[in-house]
Amino acid sequence: MKVGVYYKNSDVRVEERPEPKAGDHDIVVRVMACGLCGSDLLEWYRIKRAPLVLGHEPAGIVVETGKLVTNVKVGDRVFVTHHVPCNSCYHCRTGHETACTTFQTTNNFEPGGFSQFLRVSGKSVETGTFVLPDSMTFEQATFIEPLATAVRALRTVALKPAQSVLVCGSGVAGLLLIKLARAMGAGSIIATDISAYRLEKARQFGATHTITANEDVPAFVRKVNDGRLADVVILCAGALPAAKTALMSAEKGGTILFFAVPKPGETVDVDFNPFWRDDITIKTCYGAAPLDNLQALELIRHGTVTVTDMVTHRFGIDKIGEAFMTGARPDGCMKVVIEPNQ
């Protein structure tokens, strides 16, 4: 079978590997679509483990099941996730599933979603495999995991109707958060980015106001939000200036969510006195648990959040190098989908 092997962003090669076989507890999926995630393009993060086959947003058809698998069958159309929690440790029991050691240290995909066939193993078969409704396309299904991270994020900040939201960074994650915040009844939704293209998409997808990230964002928020800063600030960009902007943009009693973070080793100097005095909460959010994925599936199924309007490029596996180069561009591209068997 053909796989896309990552060496660096500008060097993703098509190689041949044997098709995987299912063990007793495994399934094999014929991958029909797999989204290219922004994290796949974080070269500083990926290159230290290269070469490797990426792709963690795959959807496809089950072509083989192990003899002990009972929850899916050959022919099922599915979406699968590579990280799943153990559901029994202290962190899982207290609602912090993505802090679970099992979640953070296991990868149940072989080789990865950017391949024609994918073996899914471990708890990813039991709790990380979702049978798709007939009405959902494979392309729509590739958004289940990224939308699930947005679901978890807005649950973390306990977004309430009519609250104002500032999204710092309008990449795919930021745009999904804008769409979901709009669906949940947010009031003003203000988006920032350095790209005019992305800001236009933010307006198209539900932002009420946009501003270039290198301008005076807090002053702009006050101007368009009745003199107040934002009730909820969500950082969706890893750049240090974006983090500093987020920390200056929350209203008294508000919440700042680090959905994205700066690179390891990069730090932000923080004077905590204003946060302490003004009752501002700082939170973090990482990944998505099975419940988040299930909710995201239902949001897509019922059209509460539309996703196909975010796909700008589709590539077969033979063009995966071009797909990565396209996805790395800030302008003219939002979501890239790989179709390994087209």
Instruction: Please give the domain boundaries of the chain with CATH numbers for all domains.
Output: 2-143+307-339 (3.90.180.10), 149-284 (3.40.50.720)
Dihedral sign (CA 316, 45, 210, 158): positive
Q: Could you tell me the two tokens for 54?
A: 């990426």
**pLDDT the model gives residue 330:** 76
* Contact indicator for 320, 342 with CB cutoff of 8 Å: no
Residue segments in the chain with a per-residue pLDDT below the cut of 50: none
For 52-81, what is each residue's pLDDT tens digit? 999 999 999 999 999 999 999 999 999 999
- Distances in Å between the alpha carbon of 112 and those of 80, 170, 340? 11, 27, 11
For 70-111, what is each residue's pLDDT tens digit? 999 999 999 999 999 999 999 999 999 999 999 999 999 999
pTM flag (> 0.85)? yes
Q: Which residue has the tokens 């969706």?
A: 236
Rounded distance between C-alpha atoms, residue 196 and residue 16, angstroms: 40
- Distances in Å between the alpha carbon of 119 and those of 3, 60, 115? 13, 12, 10
Q: Which amino acid is at 14?
A: V
* Contact indicator for 116, 31 with CB cutoff of 8 Å: yes
**pLDDT the model gives residue 43:** 86
Say if residue 253 is exposed, middle or buried (CB neighbours under 10 Å; 0-12, 13-18, 19+).
Answer: exposed
Q: Could you tell me the two tokens for 304?
A: 């509460």
Dihedral sign (CA 311, 145, 21, 52): positive
Is the N-terminal amide bond of 274 cis, ω within 30° of 0?
Answer: no
Rounded distance between C-alpha atoms, residue 338 and residue 131, angstroms: 20
Question: What counts of helices (H) and strands (E) characterise the chain?
Answer: 13, 16
Rounded distance between C-alpha atoms, residue 308 and residue 33, angstroms: 13
Residue 104's CB is within 10 A of a number of other CB atoms, namely: 13
- Distances in Å between the alpha carbon of 303 and those of 140, 165, 183, 299? 11, 22, 10, 6
